[in-house]
Structure 1
Amino acid sequence: MTHRPRRSALFLPASNARAIEKARALDADVVILDLEDAVAPDQKATAREAAVAAVRSGGFGHRELVVRANAIGTAEAEADLAALAGSGAAAVLLPKVDDPQALHRARAVLGKGPALWAMIETPRAILDLPVIVAAAAATGLAALIAGTNDLAKELRCRPFPDRAPLVPVLVQIVVAARAAGLVALDGVSNVLDDPAAVEAECRQGRALGYDGKTLIHPSQVAPANAVFGPDEEEVRWARAVARAFDGAEAEDKGAIRVEGKMVERLHLEEARRTLAIHEAVTTRS
């Protein structure tokens, strides 16, 4: 399995040429060109053309390039998907995925093109998570993103800085993603001028099991990368676990002793993931 860093996923309006150009030099792991919320209705066609042009022109280096289409069932969705089918984008992000039918409809238009990512941002989607992720293999679904702003609105909850009312649904999204072997990305932080608050939200997301965080401003990239990337101690411990299991004395054992702790082979899998992400980040710096 290839473990690709997705610590930071930055949303940018596809209609903003200047922002797209700047994104080519940002340290975000993922750039998401947005055709939905960030684009006015009369700019949809222009933004679509700009997104396809940006994907085809390249220059994003290590950054994974994703395009968020308009929601299935809207007037713009099919045109978005048709344009993106052969664009070369790594994935198409579908907003407001409530059921697996949305994934199948998108795949029918995309053909064998980009992977699908799904935003989980409605109560119905939370209830239907098991059937949504069950369609992953057939539809090329590779990631779930928590749409926290829409979820808060639909649930009529008040998340406040600690997001406590959203934690139960955030956990359900992670559980569904892990059950299907998918990437899970936390929702955006609306805080733009308080790095400590952004970092705290990132730490909460990581504690809940998310692989990274979606972002709405370049200033949020650094805290997301710092929190969701393995730190020195995590890398040291991962190396110790990997070394211990590579030794001949561990060859036929399911659990061994490492630095006074009992470590199982399930910990070896996580250690290898940590080391793969660390290597991917450090070798491109």
Structure 2
Amino acid sequence: MLLRHARSLLFLPASNPRAIAKARALPCDMVILDLEDAVPDDAKAAARAAAVEALGEGFGARLAAVRINVEGTAWHGAEMVAMKASAADYVVLPKVERARQVRDVFSVAQKPVIAMIESARGVLAAAEIAAAEGCAGLFMGNNDLRRDLGIPAGAGREGLAFAMQASVLAARAAGIAVFDGVYNRLDDEAGLAAECAAGHAIGFDGKTLIHPAQVPVANAVFGPDAQALADARRLIAAATGGAERFEGRMIETMHVEQARALVARAEAVGQA
């Protein structure tokens, strides 16, 4: 599966073997084994070894990534080296504020990097980060970003609007994927669905998640619905080239390309 096609990207503590085993039966598109926030300092080394072992066993058709610790920590170097020899598809790098951070990880780990935008400096440097050698995608780190921007607890996402759109613009300009941040309320399916829909509307490819129960909602919102897929197939079949009328509207090559991309995504995630 292409990263751009992923709808649901689930963070799991690399130190939790039960959660890792369960993930192999979940319908998520990516599993992210976390070595950073989810793992206490005294368990980092063991979690790193567990992550490498789990990656070796594989996650079926799911993409697999590892979030390593930020540069300057005691574990960063060893984790980069471990990722080079691992079966990870991607390395997730937190708190990125400079393109050089991405290049450094890519050069050592030899894996494509997904950069997390989690600070004001990260937002302002998003275009350079997205264009860095080895950068395959961007994640919004909205919890840390809220704190850095001084957004009050309980406030909506209005204060994040510029940062999110700037990250989408940066990713699209660089031709890479970009994903919305996590939703913290675990028992609020309606709220999660609304946030997924809002993120989808501004251009995010999918959503990072923190609980298995959130996966079906993200898949439903970010995956092509049956009506849109049927419309896309009719448009592709009817198009003959150039500007023309289709079911009461004007279409051109751009619309055909969009329809083909929608069908390709549906096929990639098993919705075709």
Q: Is the 8 A contact 2:4 2:205 kept in 1?
A: no
Q: CA RMSD in A?
A: 1.7
| TM-score when normalising by structure 2 | 0.96
Return the alpha-carbon distance in structure 2 between the equivalents of residues 148 and 187 of structure 1.
5
- Map of 2:32 onto structure 1: 32
For the pair 1:121 / 2:118, whether they are aligned, the reply is yes
For the pair 1:19 / 2:19, whether they are aligned, the reply is yes
Amino acid at match of 1:163: R
Amino acid at match of 2:144: D
| 1:140-198 superposed Cα distances (whole Å, 9 cap, x missing partner) | 21110000001000001137474111111111110101001111100000010111111
For the pair 1:259 / 2:241, whether they are aligned, the reply is no
2:141 to 126, 142, 147: 147
How do residues 38-53 of structure 1 correspond to structure 2 at under 5 angstroms?
Answer: 38-53=38-53
- Map of 1:241 onto structure 2: 235
Mark the CA change 1:158 to 1:266 in structure 2 (over 3 Å): closer, same or farther: farther
How do residues 1-285 of structure 1 correspond to structure 2 at under 5 angstroms?
Answer: 5-58=5-58, 60-110=59-109, 113-135=110-132, 139-158=133-152, 160=154, 162-245=156-239, 250-251=240-241, 253=242, 255-282=243-270
125-134 or 178-187: bigger deviation: 125-134
Q: Is the 8 A contact 1:56 1:88 kept in 2?
A: yes
Secondary structure of the residue aligned to 2:269 is helix
Mark the CA change 1:283 to 1:202 in structure 2 (over 3 Å): closer, same or farther: closer
Mark the CA change 1:276 to 1:147 in structure 2 (over 3 Å): closer, same or farther: same
| TM-score when normalising by structure 1 | 0.91
Deviation at residue 203 of structure 1 after TM alignment: 0.6
Deviation at residue 234 of structure 1 after TM alignment: 0.9
Deviation at residue 264 of structure 1 after TM alignment: 2.1
Q: Is the 8 A contact 1:240 1:258 kept in 2?
A: no
* Equivalent pairs, count: 272
Secondary structure of the residue aligned to 2:187 is coil
Stretches of structure 1 lacking an aligned partner (at least 5 in a row): none
Amino acid at match of 2:267: E
Secondary structure of the residue aligned to 1:154 is helix
| 1:32-54 superposed Cα distances (whole Å, 9 cap, x missing partner) | 00000000000000000000000
Deviation at residue 4 of structure 1 after TM alignment: 5.2
